[in-house]
Amino acid sequence: MSDKTFLVRLSEEEHQALQDLATAEHRSMQDVARLAIAERASRSRRHDEVHDALAEIMDRDSELLRRLAQ
């Protein structure tokens, strides 16, 4: 796996929030940022999985849902 470098410009408030989190969690600011990205990506994937499952249920049970709605 090759590491990539990405420059992020933060406002003073964002920088302070990142620094505060890093201090509170006894982590580096880089680790906190990387963890935040991983958590956001995971949440997005989970949202997509739930959406797909719901679409499948609605398609499969469309007749039942139609009758319940009456």
**pLDDT, tens only, 43-54:** 999 998 999 999
User: ∠20-21-27 over CA atoms, to 5°?
Assistant: 110
- Write down the pLDDT at residue 63: 87
Domain ranges of the chain: 12-69
- Write down the pLDDT at residue 25: 97
- Write down the pLDDT at residue 66: 85
Residue numbers of the chain with a pLDDT score lower than 50 = none
Q: How far apart are CA 29 and CA 37, in angstroms?
A: 12
